[in-house]
Structure 1
Amino acid sequence: MTTEVAAGQQVRPEYPRPDWQRTDWCNLNGSWAFRFDPQDEGREASWQQESENAYNRAITVPFSWASPLSGIGEDTKGIGWYRRSVDWQPDDRKSRIFLRFGAVDYACEAWVNGRSVGTHEGGYGTFEFEVTEAWRAEGGNTIVVRAQDEDHDYQARGKQGYGEIRGIWQPVWLEARPQTYVQAAKFNTAIDGKVELKARIAAHEAGTSTFTCHFDGGKVTHTVELALAAGLNEIETSFIIPSPQLWSPESPFLYEGELRLGSPSGEDVVQTYFGIREIGTAKFGDRGYRWITLNGKPIYLNGTLDQSYHATGYFTYPTDEEMRDEIYLMKRLGLNFVRIHIKPEEPRKLYWADKLGILVMEDMPCFWGNPDETARSAYEREALEVIERDWNHPSIFSWVMFNETWGLKTNSLGGGLTGDQLQATSYLPNTQEWVREVYRWAKRIDPTRIVEDNSPCNWDHVETDLNTWHFYINGYEQLRNHMEEVVAKTVPGSDFNYIGGNVQSDAPLMNSECGNVWGIEGGAGDSDLAWHYRYMMNEFRRHDKLCGFVFTEFRDVTNEFNGYYRLDGTDKMFGYESFVPGMTLSDLHTPDFVAIDAPPCQTICAGETATVSLLRSSFSDRYHGRTLQLRWELWHDSLGTRTTAGSGVLDVAWDGYGVAPLTELQLTMPNQDAVAVLALLLVDAEGTIVTRNFTTFDVRGGASLAFGTENGHFLAVPPAQFGQHSFAHQWQAINGAKTTGAGAGSFVYDIALPSQEEQSWIGELEIMFEAGSNRTLARHIEGAKLVHHGISMMHGANAQVETNPNTYYMTDEERHESRIHVLVDGERIGSFLLPDDPSDSRGVLSWHYQAAANRLDEAGSYGYLCRAVIPGRLSAKLDRNRAFKLELQAENGGLSLYGRNAGRYPIDLLIRCR
């Protein structure tokens, strides 16, 4: 992730609006003179007339003055003044000149050469001022901008607690247009190829003009003659594209081109694009509920919540490449949609969503005060700006008007919603009616998209196109029961998930936030999410009603570490490929999916038979009417050797949308202790893998069946049964099944070998154990601390991750090595480099034996199988003595030892005698 703008590199040099672009423009990003105005004296003192010397700071636009990339880096609310000298002139000196702002938070006034050219309020909308009359043709122009951000309760702010967007925070530029120009245009498309165009034209004088649509390299051309009146003109026209190429995440075809307006004052050319697609909802078959549709067909929405936060630019991307890469990284996971959370996205990122193909659910930013008339009018003004600005993006399929009732609760104590004052708030009936009005207003102005009234966590819909809900629940049984309840209560006419006497329609059921970040006492801290994620995906795909989900979240943020990626964009390792070769997260997001109706792991006796039910979940017609192959294998790792316990191939009919039973598998477990894995592949006739999935079993064989007597005599020593240790800090975890020492030190065990009566002679001795390094956290040294999660956590308060009792860092690109040595009676017989202290889905037993679903005790942690053979010269001695001291010694990186009920392998410290 970019942390700074390279020296000499132009700041955000690309045109900010590829959806509405002219060629004659001047980029104003870069260095501006700057000064704070804490006493609000600038206007009275005419700072707009002051020379650059009166400005005592330099700021890099377009970054919030609170962010590091601005060069200021001060989270100071209030007033900031910007000044810049500009020598640019348009190519045609008769052009009209506009000063354009992507966004300024919150109140803005601009001057050109000391002359006020306009004001604007609202932190997220784009706006412009015509500066033609103030612009000096001879050059030497000065632009001054005053921005004021006071964090008023009525301001639409969203989750700026992660990093405040203060002042100018999106690009600024100058643009030239002819005297008569196209001010705006909206495309409405239909999958039969009809394109309707509504445009607004600003005419300098009355007259005849020619308006031409030219797209797809000239394959699409449409021209109309217009009789324009002086001033603003609204026009409508339409045309048909035969055999249209439809836009979808799989095939994001854009009709790129331009609009040309020819008039006596010159030709205005705007480069733009549109995508042909239809968003809707529909019933299929005899279902009494609707599914979400794209281009007339059901689509299952695999989505993520995107906070769009960056450590250095805050809510402003350092480069265009990063915006493009954000969309790429989502698609790499197999996701097909993203919920942009409580903020409208930058237009260039929306362009990359259009270009690369990912659907967007775009939230309106919330205010945090009472929903009084001031807040309502400010909100409505900004919401209109957002919808008008982003209309033409085919990727946007849904507007979310409010989130989790934020800004909708009236605080009887007065002031903003903070701390314990939340207890004194209520979602009043008149506010509910305002929300209904906002929903209906949005539907009137944009009937082409799905609109949601409120994305709720308090069961409080009023009227909506989507029946969504939020949950943060950890634990398989808890999640399964919750899903069953929600699905059962989702029926037309039910008042479930609605408030104020309102009831459900047949609107599609969809989850709009989920994850385990807040489903754990004290929050999940920074922990593995791979285990939880897989069984959650299986539970979702079991339910025919459910149209998709939004996982929290795309990247980690400052107080939530539940992202697919780290905040800096580095990978987390989910470990699925260790269960099914080639499996990645994307296998859990395929439109054709095999759902496993079983827990993520279940305990079973060795040699017993388990029945596993499989479901077909299809939200694509690609394979309908065809026969696919289901290949399955039951395998386990037997002390480092991959062993197959059973396998098979089934032909399965794949036909029809939705969820239906597929088959049942009868699985005979191995006759020994094992973590057994049922691996599934769904394969088409050409041998292409459609999807992969797996589940696991903790197979318990008992003492006599542990690893088979044919493999020798095994002694098992629980790691916690050491005789002494020399670590500065040492502890047990996972019900005592895991033992850890921090830093340098050793564990010493007194080992008693079989007597001569039990085993007449010992020819070979081998030591086996599972071990990992240790990444020592603050809670290991200082003690764990539970933090109360009030509303401050939603504003980005510090989660104190290293003192959180649930924290155990998920495996990622960062490595924490440790070198350990194995000593027998003081003599070193082996050394191992432990590459990391990992925690992910591979730590099956560490997950399976968690004591409580809502608390994590080093969940998912595991180690590496280590094997050391005792040399013959020592074996002879041990054959006589039948006892020895085993020392496991760590240099600096610590040592974690995993027992039978922890880690990846179902073993304690093992000594095999043969």
Structure 2
Amino acid sequence: MKSLLFTCLGTLFSFFAFSQMIPLPEHPRPDFERADWKNLNGVWEFKFDADDEGLTKSWSTGNTSFDKTILVPFPWGSTLSGVKDEADIAWYKREITVDPSWKGKKTFVTIGASDWETTVWLDGQKLGSHQGGYTPFSFDLTPYVNYGEAQKLVIRVDDIRRDFTLYGKQGYGNARGLWQTVYLEARGNNYLEAVHFTPDIDNNKVDVTAYLPDDATEDIKVNVVIKGAPTPISQDATITKGKNKVRFSINIPNAHLWSLEDPFLYTAEATLGDDKVSTYFGMRKISVVNLPGTDYPYIALNNNPIYVQLTLDQSYHPDGFYTFPSDQFMREEIERSKSIGLNGIRVHIKAEVPRKLYWADKLGLLVMADLPNSWGEPEEKMQAEAEYTLREMIKRDYNHPAIFSWIVFNETWGLRTAVEVDGKKENKYLPRTQKWVASMYYLTKSLDGSRLVEDNSICCGAGHTETDINSWHSYLPGWEWEAFMANLEKNTYPGSTYDFEDGFKQGNQPNINSECGNVWGYDGSTGDVDWTWDYHRMMNTFRKYPFMSGWLYTEHHDVINEWNGYWRFDRTEKKTGLGEIVEGMTTNDFHSLVYLSTGNEISKTVKGGATVSVPLYLSSMSAQEMGSQLKIVYELTHTNYLGETSTFKQGSQLVDYKPYIQSTPAPIEVTMPSTAGLSILKLRLEDMSGKVVHRNFTAFEVTGTDKLAKTEVISVSPASFTKADWSKKQWNVLDGLKVNGAGKGSFEYTFDLSGTETAKAKEAYFLVEISAKELFAKDKEKFEAGKDYMLGARAEPSANPNSYPMTDETMFPSTVSIWVNGTKVQTTTLADDPADHKGILSWHHQLQDKKLREAGSYGYLTKVPVSKRMLKDAAKTGKITVEIRTEGEGGVAVYGKSFGRWPVDPSIVLTY
């Protein structure tokens, strides 16, 4: 997918050019929009206040000269703001002119979000202050407005670090100061504070609640018009004197439901006197039902079970931090998730920008919404901050049909208290805090009974209290998932206290993984590595255990020190290599609602000629009718020790099918080739018309002893080089299964041809798998363990000892020449230093010790002719010398038969 406008804005435009536009010009709240409004984004005057002197020196009057400019609404310190982070307090100012046509109404300035304490003045008159970093607030300008005249709007933001504030992961990029759209709007003299729509699809109606900012001083009529039905539906209600809200129902016959496939939105207008607000809602229902044919509870959309396949969305932009550069970029974020077959995201410990939620509504993607966390203790100020922000989040985002759950806390962050135990300080999740967490669950349910609520998305020894979803986090190497899931299934049942705190127990909640992956499952924190291999094993395992109603992978995109995303931080592509293993296979096959699993083990070593029984698990999470049978089409291909690939066996078998089936079809029996190499059993699940429903595969390292006819191969291991000379570094991997040379240099190999009939050879060539070799940070410096990477401690993406950066759009080529007996024979450019699913052998031979050694890395099969003259010389000396020499600083990695993509050692091949 290519960005249509701003893939990486900071590299496309200079700050000056971009500042001539109004960034994010669209109305920031399509779910709550008035016609009379003016966007105040753009260039503002700006000044840091490191000594906190602005208040005493009357900067609020707007008469003081500010020495900088900033591009609002980007947080200071971000590239797009144009301002470096130099202090904790800063001031903004600009001139505004209020349209004379607004006279007679109330004029407000609204700030979408500003972190943390924000105070606003107009022509030196203080309008008010607000504390909190994530939700919108407004101040009434009306008493001080001179309509049609230029006036000075001044804003002071104090973002001094406070432990009780909801900081989230802002260490990855602080949302300092104004970070959402600032705008003026005209409201009626009596105006609506909020209008909430609660759909009731079972009764073909929607319940409407209209709110005032204060109690009514007299009876006030509210009119709501719903559009999208065959004819508009209009209904009146009255907010009676002394009340600040009214609740009423509107019938919607034959309601057009909002779904992932058809995300239909009803638009609405709410009118209160001279105040009119445009909004929208979706007719949809969130509930819990059993997976058909089982007693497993599942999250349901419109009374139908949903197998949730989500990703953790940290929702950061490299140049704007919490703030995206354009509306188009936000749309593309939603499209990215849908493009790989996901049905939802979890916006992680950030109250999301409303326009991104709008695109989730518009395009059909589910959202789990997190309350941001503090990093202090759960003392009184922190509790007040959390409760306030929770209320404001729900108030703002109530109408977004995409949101299906609220998550109040994450991994007990901000919920532990330092206590003394046996003379030592320990951080404990105290019973009193657990009771408060349970009370926050009930508070959330009282504010919004139409969605599911999690008390705490649990990890690291903490459990649930009261919750609608039995969620859990686990980061494991791929090979550990089978035992983990079997144990979890045994302990998951109504009444179980497993994963619950003392005094609480499991009810009939859906069981979902709400964070998973491999990256934190290996020693030494995160690392940049091919995500697909362990992901493949994990998905194969998950689909064997339908008691778990869904999962959430960490994460949507890389961010700062977490390099485990489907996309890079700049949203460029990572290359999985799947389509080159099985034609047509993509990441979407891992997310197919109908899935054919071969179990956790996706590679194994077998003897040549052995008969192997491949287990099958058919998992349907779809209501779609596809007939009573599906066809499993399989093909066994074999790549021999010369890198030659051929089809060894083909076949098919029928399997019974019905919606939501969970079954174990008869295994596939295949006899392996007798020659050594790499075999791949490729699987296609088809309906009876031949349409491919799903693709998968499993691989076999074959240790055959049979030799190829009329061929003689003289091989050496990669580590058996006779000479190596490198400008930067030379080292070996896993006792020489692969050897690396970084910088400029060469490897030399000597092949003993004594005893061979070189004179009779019709053809001779040198065969080797090689790639470029980038010198990664992990290979030249020590990874700094123990840092708090959650709070933004920085490291190079390749610094972690487990990392091997995955293949992406950035190439690292190396030009090499191959010399035979001192004569240059061939020059070739090795396109990259890749690592992805194609590196089957380098994944297969990893040790199961929670460490990775260049996993997934592989090279390019290189074939270099050896001339008749060279063979004659070899016949005299009994040997051939081959040198692999770089012609630049790109380095070389040499792979052997047990590492990389091709099951070959460096070899001289003679054919007769």
TM-score range, shorter chain: over 0.9
Q: Give CA-to-partner distance per residue, 1:187-211, whole Å, 9 cap, x none.
A: 1113343211111257997466461
Q: 1:496 is matched with which residue? A: 498
- Distance 1:881-1:735 versus aligned 2 partners, 3 A rule: closer
Matches within 5 A, 1:787-826: 787-790=784-787, 792-826=788-822
Matches within 5 A, 1:191-206: 191-192=201-202, 193-201=204-212, 206=218
Q: 1:170 is matched with which residue? A: 180
Q: Which amino acid aligns with 2:104?
A: K
- Distance 1:279-1:650 versus aligned 2 partners, 3 A rule: same
For 1:180, which of 190, 198, 206 is the aligned residue? 190
Contact 2:222–2:237, Cα closer than 8 Å, also in 1: yes
Contact 2:627–2:687, Cα closer than 8 Å, also in 1: no
Q: Does 1:910 align with 2:907?
A: yes
Q: Which amino acid aligns with 2:489?
A: V
Q: 2:428 is matched with which residue? A: 426
The answer for unaligned runs of 5 or more in structure 1 is 415-420
Contact 1:560–1:799, Cα closer than 8 Å, also in 2: no
Q: Give CA-to-partner distance per residue, 1:482-521, whole Å, 9 cap, x none.
A: 1221222111222111112322112111001111221111
Q: 1:417 is matched with which residue? A: none
Q: Does 1:91 align with 2:101?
A: yes
Q: 1:689 is matched with which residue? A: 692
Q: 2:66 is matched with which residue? A: 55
Distance (Å, rounded) in 2 between the aligned partners of 1:396 and 1:423: 40
Q: Which amino acid aligns with 1:666?
A: E
Number of aligned residue pairs: 892
Q: Which amino acid aligns with 2:802?
A: N
Matches within 5 A, 1:565-604: 565-604=567-606
Distance (Å, rounded) in 2 between the aligned partners of 1:658 and 1:286: 8
For 1:351, which of 343, 346, 358 is the aligned residue? 358
Q: 2:3 is matched with which residue? A: none
Deviation, structure 1 residue 148: 1.2
- Distance 1:689-1:245 versus aligned 2 partners, 3 A rule: farther
Contact 1:824–1:886, Cα closer than 8 Å, also in 2: yes
- Distance 1:531-1:89 versus aligned 2 partners, 3 A rule: same
Q: Which amino acid aligns with 2:830?
A: L
Further displaced range: 684-693 or 835-844: 684-693
Q: 1:667 is matched with which residue? A: 670
Question: 3-state SS of the aligned residue for 2:542?
Answer: helix
- Distance 1:75-1:567 versus aligned 2 partners, 3 A rule: farther
Deviation, structure 1 residue 253: 1.6
Distance (Å, rounded) in 1 between the aligned partners of 2:24 and 2:669: 59
Contact 2:239–2:245, Cα closer than 8 Å, also in 1: no
Q: Which amino acid aligns with 1:689?
A: V
Q: Does 1:46 align with 2:58?
A: yes
Q: Which amino acid aligns with 2:32?
A: W
- Distance 1:210-1:390 versus aligned 2 partners, 3 A rule: closer
Distance (Å, rounded) in 2 between the aligned partners of 1:851 and 1:155: 43
Deviation, structure 1 residue 387: 0.8
Distance (Å, rounded) in 2 between the aligned partners of 1:688 and 1:141: 66
Q: Does 1:299 align with 2:302?
A: no
Distance (Å, rounded) in 2 between the aligned partners of 1:614 and 1:112: 70
Distance (Å, rounded) in 2 between the aligned partners of 1:664 and 1:830: 47
TM-score if structure 1 supplies the norm length?
0.94
Q: Which amino acid aligns with 1:236?
A: R
Distance (Å, rounded) in 2 between the aligned partners of 1:156 and 1:514: 24
For 1:515, which of 514, 517, 520 is the aligned residue? 517
Q: 2:171 is matched with which residue? A: 161
Q: Give CA-to-partner distance per residue, 1:861-912, whole Å, 9 cap, x none.
A: 1001111221233333334543221112221211111011111111111211
Q: 2:767 is matched with which residue? A: 768
The answer for unaligned runs of 5 or more in structure 2 is 1-7
Distance (Å, rounded) in 2 between the aligned partners of 1:215 and 1:188: 16
Q: 1:69 is matched with which residue? A: 80
Q: Does 1:360 align with 2:356?
A: no
Q: Does 1:333 align with 2:340?
A: yes
**Which 4+ residue blocks in structure 1 deviate beyond 6 angstroms?**
202-205
Distance (Å, rounded) in 1 between the aligned partners of 2:222 and 2:417: 53
Distance (Å, rounded) in 1 between the aligned partners of 2:880 and 2:524: 45
Q: Which amino acid aligns with 1:102?
A: G
Question: 3-state SS of the aligned residue for 1:18?
Answer: coil
- Distance 1:613-1:208 versus aligned 2 partners, 3 A rule: same
Question: 3-state SS of the aligned residue for 1:663?
Answer: coil
Q: Give CA-to-partner distance per residue, 1:273-307, whole Å, 9 cap, x none.
A: 11111111122456444111111111111111111
Q: 1:744 is matched with which residue? A: 744
Question: 3-state SS of the aligned residue for 1:558?
Answer: coil
Q: 2:720 is matched with which residue? A: 721
Q: Which amino acid aligns with 1:278?
A: K
Q: Give CA-to-partner distance per residue, 1:775-834, whole Å, 9 cap, x none.
A: 112343x34x242235x2111111343432222111100111112222211112222221
For 1:890, which of 886, 889, 892 is the aligned residue? 886
For 2:472, which of 449, 469, 473 is the aligned residue? 469
Matches within 5 A, 1:556-705: 556-623=558-625, 625-638=627-640, 639-657=642-660, 659-702=662-705, 705=706
For 1:282, which of 289, 292, 295 is the aligned residue? 289
Q: Which amino acid aligns with 1:693?
A: N
Deviation, structure 1 residue 322: 1.0
Q: 1:406 is matched with which residue? A: 413
Q: Which amino acid aligns with 1:162?
A: Y
Question: 3-state SS of the aligned residue for 1:434?
Answer: helix
TM-score if structure 2 supplies the norm length?
0.94
Contact 1:495–1:504, Cα closer than 8 Å, also in 2: yes
Contact 1:154–1:367, Cα closer than 8 Å, also in 2: yes
Distance (Å, rounded) in 1 between the aligned partners of 2:301 and 2:661: 15
Distance (Å, rounded) in 1 between the aligned partners of 2:193 and 2:783: 55
- Distance 1:779-1:212 versus aligned 2 partners, 3 A rule: closer
Contact 1:843–1:903, Cα closer than 8 Å, also in 2: yes
Q: 2:5 is matched with which residue? A: none
Q: Give CA-to-partner distance per residue, 1:600-645, whole Å, 9 cap, x none.
A: 2100001111111111111111136532222111112334443112
Q: Which amino acid aligns with 2:56?
A: E
Q: Does 1:848 align with 2:844?
A: yes
Contact 1:645–1:668, Cα closer than 8 Å, also in 2: no
Question: 3-state SS of the aligned residue for 2:394?
Answer: helix
Q: Which amino acid aligns with 1:46?
A: S
Q: Does 1:246 align with 2:246?
A: no
Q: Give CA-to-partner distance per residue, 1:622-671, whole Å, 9 cap, x none.
A: 13653222211111233444311222122222114253213311111112
Q: 2:830 is matched with which residue? A: 834
For 1:81, which of 91, 112, 117 is the aligned residue? 91
Q: Which amino acid aligns with 1:730?
A: Q
Q: Give CA-to-partner distance per residue, 1:333-389, whole Å, 9 cap, x none.
A: 111110100111000000011111110001001111111111111110111000111
Deviation, structure 1 residue 8: 2.1
Give the alignment's Cα RMSD to 1 decimal: 2.2
Q: 2:142 is matched with which residue? A: 132
